[in-house]
Amino acid sequence: MNIEQVNLGDRSYPIFIGKGSSSEPQAITDSVLGNDVLVLTNETVGPLYLEQIKASLPDKNIVTFSLPDGEQEKTLKNVHKVIHHMLEAGLGRDATLISLGGGVICDMGGFAASIFMRGINLIQIPTTLLAQVDASVGGKTGVNNSYGKNLVGSFYQPSAVICDTAFLSTLNEKEMSAGLAEIIKYGLIHDTKFLSWLNDNIQNILKHDRAALGHAIQRSCQIKSEIVSADEKEQSIRAILNFGHTFGHAIELQTGYSDWLHGEAVAAGMVLACKLSAKMSLISKEEVEMVKDLLTKAGLPIEPPDINTNDFINAMKSDKKVKERKIQLVLLQKMGEAFLTSEYSEEDLLEVLGG
């Protein structure tokens, strides 16, 4: 088991990475405070892994709550149901909430933990590749509503993240590819060496090769930790973690949070961000093609769905980075370096969205 660290002073926490890490006492038992535990999961992940988590905590009073599966379930209404269940079970301020699931469950579990009794101990146990490399780390929690993605939420750090790579064995190929979108993102915004390693190892990751998968998760968590440790509440550099996301969130909103996986929408969004960066002569057209090839090798879409350009722009305006009503975008300064800007021409943006 490898351990990475998010450095936030007295709120610093470890990320345990490795096969079987969720059964390691150092990772799970030591991170639970008090006797009462709520494990939040969903109808897909619960039947696969809930008993295993319970068995790792034999001396605790474990209450469970399972939600229906799907991004469309990431709602305030469901967080309310979780809170009610905890109150009905008599849990108090000394309880620990464990999220056991993908990014949807981690985001909702994190949000519920942040508001229950003004904040209780939280452990994230992500079970998708996407959640292990991104959603479970860094303390962003929240839910969607009809106005857009993640518009209600909080910054609330867990006391531990446990990335058990054994859980990924039941994940389908499409979900593995969705996770790869966020992994490729880290290479594009921060580390060209990692990007070229990914180019050589993408098939091994998709084949669940233990060493390749382990390295991809570890390097991604290192990059995310470094950025979050420098800017926890997204006052500056953390915004680059949203590379491709303003476009991607618009795709998700326009397709009703159901047809496109988050990682797929981010992949198509990253291509649009690269195309705009190339229009501004920051990167070359060849580099855009290289990004498209890498995403294609990862099994990801490189074109957005057919959305009317005005609808696309309107959906992008619901992004949290909008400032003085202008959409701010994360673009590439060069390969391996991203920046947040509102200094782009509307004409270029319209052209990129128009094809």
Task: Specify the stretch interacting with ligand NAD by CB under 6 A; choose among 19-27, 133-141, 212-220, 271-279.
Answer: 133-141
Here's the x/- map for ligand NAD, 20-49, by CB under 6 A: it reads as ----------------------x-xx--x-
Is residue 335 within 8 Å of 300, Cβ to Cβ? no
242 binds, among ligand NAD, ligand GLY, none (CB under 5 to 8 A by kind): ligand GLY
Q: How many residues bind ligand NAD (CB under 6 A)?
A: 30
Place of tokens 């149901």: 81
- Out of 15, 37, 123, 134, the residue judged to bind ligand NAD by CB under 6 A: 134
Reduce the DSSP state of residue 14 to 3 states and report it. strand
Query: What is the rounded distance in angstroms from the CA atom of residue 40 to the CA atom of residue 214?
Result: 25
170 binds, among ligand NAD, ligand GLY, none (CB under 5 to 8 A by kind): ligand NAD
Residues 69-88 that bind ligand NAD (CB under 6 A): 69, 71, 74
Q: Please state whether beta strands 148-155 and 2-6 pair in parallel, antiparallel, or not at all (unpaired).
A: unpaired
Residue type, 156: Y
Nearest residue (CB) to ligand GLY, 263 versus 301? 263
128 binds, among ligand GLY, ligand NAD, none (CB under 5 to 8 A by kind): ligand NAD
CB atoms within 10 A of CB 209: 14
Pick from 136, 120, 60: nearest CA to 87: 120
Q: Taking the complex as a whole, how short is the minimal distance between the CB of residue 281 and ligand NAD, in angstroms? A: 30
Nearest residue (CB) to ligand GLY, 274 versus 330? 330
Query: What is the rounded distance in angstroms from the CA atom of residue 254 to the CA atom of residue 252?
Result: 6
Nearest residue (CB) to ligand NAD, 131 versus 283? 131
- Out of 111, 156, 167, 247, the residue judged to bind ligand NAD by CB under 6 A: 167
Query: What is the rounded distance in angstroms from the CA atom of residue 151 to the CA atom of residue 141?
Result: 10
CA distances from 14 to 48, 179, 210 (A): 25, 21, 21
Nearest residue (CB) to ligand NAD, 45 versus 332? 45
Query: What is the rounded distance in angstroms from the CA atom of residue 230 to the CA atom of residue 226?
Result: 6
Reduce the DSSP state of residue 284 to 3 states and report it. coil
42 binds, among ligand GLY, ligand NAD, none (CB under 5 to 8 A by kind): ligand NAD
Q: Taking the complex as a whole, how short is the minimal distance between the CB of residue 224 and ligand GLY, in angstroms? A: 7
46 binds, among ligand NAD, ligand GLY, none (CB under 5 to 8 A by kind): none
190 binds, among ligand GLY, ligand NAD, none (CB under 5 to 8 A by kind): none
Pick from 169, 2, 146, 143: nearest CA to 81: 143
Q: Taking the complex as a whole, how short is the minimal distance between the CB of residue 289 and ligand NAD, in angstroms? A: 26
- Out of 123, 131, 205, 278, the residue judged to bind ligand NAD by CB under 6 A: 131
Residues 139-158 that bind ligand NAD (CB under 6 A): 140, 149-150
Query: What is the rounded distance in angstroms from the CA atom of residue 145 to the CA atom of residue 160?
Result: 28
44 binds, among ligand GLY, ligand NAD, none (CB under 5 to 8 A by kind): ligand NAD
Q: Helix 173-190 crosses helix 285-297 at what angle (to 10 degrees)?
A: 150
DSSP symbols for 70-104: SGGG-SHHHHHHHHHHHHHTT--TT-EEEEEESHH
